Chain A
Amino acid sequence: MADNQQIEMVGMNRSAYLRVLAFFLAPAVLIYTLFSVYPLLATIFDSLYLRHEGGALTFNGLGNFQTLLTDETWSKPFWNALRNNLIFFIIHMCVQNPVGLALAALLSLKQLAFRNTYRTLIFMPTMLSVVIIGFIWQLILSPLWGIWKMGLNAVGLGVLFGPYLGQEHTALITISLISVWQFVGIPMILIYTALLAIPDELVDAATVDGLNQWQAFFHVKLPLIWPTIGLVSVLTFVANFNAFDLIYAMQGALAGPNFSTDIMGTLFYRTFFGNQLQLGDPTMGSTIATMMFVIILMGLLVYLYVIQRRIQRYSF
């Protein structure tokens, strides 16, 4: 009963009590409301208006959304960005999270020497700025330096080398994998902690029941960490549909080549600020931001109402 934890105040009148509450709560509530909630609401509000030459605003209902989804000049980039973003997300789900799970499973093995060292080192790239990571990989992949080429030649796969970041059909996958490389530490740590929380007795019991290590992992441990995997998935979803830095740093605001790496974040940035090809458009920028909000919200709702309800949570 959380309520019983909270105190009753004796000897303090109502106004003094309210002063105490205001003192403690006002700073956080005000700054959060002003710089987080208000901008979000204002953005949604803005997306309902049309901006004319000279700056006049008129109410446009859902017109901006209609434009975004159906008008060729807007819908083509939008669907392109959404499709790319989905691919970006799917690659993360199919590579980052399974690799993270595998690493976590290995790290959580009993009596593993150097486990903290492995954990700390593998997590390291996650700490660095996406900008820095992007640039480092650009250098490594660059034919000028030739590190990657050298590596491929060394294992006899030299023919596979190409200007990955410059080709439309490889750029997005390459960037996604770089992002996976950087962020694999997060699923690893979260799943690792969840695995450590499982009591040893459960695995011992499974061993006594005749399961081998693999079977014990798949039939005992894995079912117990589904909630964590669900959480990792939703975190990945939110982060992916909010991504921007890596593509901006590696491919620029135009998300080249030929928009093949354009995702929602870069489209939003370009639309709002404008670029060599078009002028900035704040209301359409807001419209795209609102679409991102809706997409993220849908992801969260799926998580809350489908995944979290379906998954049984266990306490030890």
Chain B
Amino acid sequence: MAQVSITSLQKSYGSVDVLKDINLEVEDGSFVVLVGPSGCGKSTLLRSIAGLEAVNGGAISIGGKRVNDLAPAKREIAMVFQSYALYPHMDVEKNMGFGLRFAGTPKQEVAARVAEAARILQLEALLKRRPRELSGGQRQRVAIGRAIVRKPQVFLFDEPLSNLDAALRVNTRVEIAKLHKLLGATIIYVTHDQVEAMTLADKIVVMNQGRIEQAGKPLDLYYRPANTFVANFIGSPAMNMVEIEVTGKNKARTLAGGELGVPLPARAKAGDRLTLGARPEHLTLGAPGKGLTGQLDLVERLGEVGYAHLDMAGGGRFIVEVRGDVKAKRGDKVGVVPDPAKLHLFDANGKACAS
């Protein structure tokens, strides 16, 4: 296994920059997940690492070796495609051993490695089947098997679960996490699903418009988002945000006029405009007049918990996590009380204020 480092990577299609100055370290044996909205460049980054796309600047190195100009096959990577990309005209066994055979690996070695991968993935009974005779989940395992067989330095996964149904997705996610432990493999994994990202990753890389917004441990991203984009992207429902004006030490008011006591950074001075963020799970509903003021629009009751959607005085909407059986009805005036220890503050540029 090997570490991957990416420095100042640039990539453009014509005049459109799709990757802008990407710097990323993937430690040996770690599981890194690239997330972001569609079109953010995460797949392009993965394909650049694979060597399926040429880059315009910067360097990619795998295991300390610069690989920019190497063909995909020479990079010691294996890729699991979103569509699985199994060769339709070959059975499972051939599919898995195909690359090795072309690399001139001795037959017995190929057979041994295929058998080993089949054992790990419980594909032994399916070895003679063609891809079209397999279910979605089985195809997915074959695709992973094909990657394992090559004993690559790095595994690359491109949205591997997006073609599976919801139940299978959860199972396969667990399987992939186990496999990572078992193989001790370095994995770079692209998804748009934040649950996959949170559960699988050692390190999450949030991307937006060709840039890395933040890279870090899943819970770091949750507790300490570096900016409003990450704050919005990680966590579901998304973080509530409201603009405030500093009025004094640890005192501020919303633009609608509500006074608010919040722990502010020391250098905040009166008149500063900041963005206050609070996750739905860190807010509670109180009597009107407490904290921020809002009017209840509807409650989504999911069972154990529920989400109250509020129209806030001064505009904007908040979502507050409540008990599933909360007694509240449309039109109720309520106060929204934040947990002061779990508030997020962002400056005018959307950057998190050091607290």
In-complex A–B contact (CB below 8 Å): yes
Chain A interfacial positions (CB closer than 8 Å to B): 7-12
Check: B52 CB closer than 8 A to any chain A CB.
yes
Closest to A16 in B: B71
Residues in chain A near residue B74, CB distance under 8 A: 11
A residues less than 8 Å from B69 (CB atoms): 10-11
- State in angstroms the CA–CA spacing of A9 and B51 once bound together: 8
Complexed CA–CA distance, A10 and B53 (Å): 7
Query: 21 A-B pairs, CB-CB below 8 angstroms?
Result: A7-B52, A8-B52, A8-B53, A8-B54, A9-B54, A9-B71, A10-B51, A10-B52, A10-B53, A10-B54, A10-B69, A10-B70, A10-B71, A10-B72, A11-B51, A11-B69, A11-B70, A11-B71, A11-B72, A11-B74, A12-B71
- Please report B residues at the A interface, Cβ cutoff 8 Å: 51-54, 69-72, 74
Question: What does DSSP make chain A's interface, helix, strand, loop or mixed?
Answer: loop
Residue of A whose beta carbon sits closest to that of B75: A11
Residues of B within 8 A of A10 (CB): 51-54, 69-72
- For the complex formed, measure the closest distance between the CB of B342 and the CB atoms of chain A, giving whole angstroms: 44
Considering the complex of A and B, which 4 residue pairs feature the smallest CB-CB distances, nearest first?
A: A11-B71, A10-B51, A11-B70, A8-B54
**Other A-B pairs, 15, CB within 8 Å; known A8-B53, A10-B72, A11-B74:** A7-B52, A8-B52, A9-B54, A9-B71, A10-B51, A10-B52, A10-B53, A10-B69, A10-B70, A10-B71, A11-B51, A11-B69, A11-B70, A11-B72, A12-B71
Query: A64 to B74, alpha carbons, bound, how many Å?
Result: 64
For residue B70, which residues in chain A have a CB less than 8 angstroms away from its CB?
10-11
Smallest CB separation, A136 vs chain B (Å): 44
Separation of A14 and B72 alpha carbons in the complex (Å) = 17
Interface of B is mostly: loop
The docked-state distance in angstroms from the alpha carbon of A10 to that of B77 is 14
How far does the Cβ of A3 sit from chain B's closest Cβ, in whole Å? 9
Please give the distance in Å from A10's CB to the nearest CB on chain B. Answer: 4
CA distance A206 to B71 in the complex (A): 57
For A8, A9, A11, A12, the residue with the greatest tally of chain B CB atoms inside 10 Å of its CB is A11
Complex Cα spacing A22 to B138, Å: 40
* Residues of chain A within 8 A of B53, CB atoms compared: 8, 10
Which chain B positions have C-beta within 8 A of A7?
A: 52
What separation, in Å, do the CA atoms of A7 and B47 have in the docked complex?
12
Which residues of A are found within 8 Å of B72, using beta-carbon distances? 10-11
Residues of chain A contacted by B52 (CB below 8 angstroms): 7-8, 10
Minimum CB–CB distance from A49 to chain B (whole Å) comes to: 49
A48 to chain B, nearest CB (A): 45
Q: How far is the CB of A110 from chain B (nearest CB, A)?
A: 31
Give the shortest distance, in Å, between B39 (CB) and chain A (any CB).
13
Most buried by B among A7, A8, A10, A11: A10
Give Cα distance in the complex from A280 to B156, angstroms: 71
Chain B residues with Cβ under 8 A from A12's Cβ? 71
B71 surroundings in chain A (CB, below 8 A) = 9-12
Q: Which residue of B lies closest to A1 (CB)?
A: B13
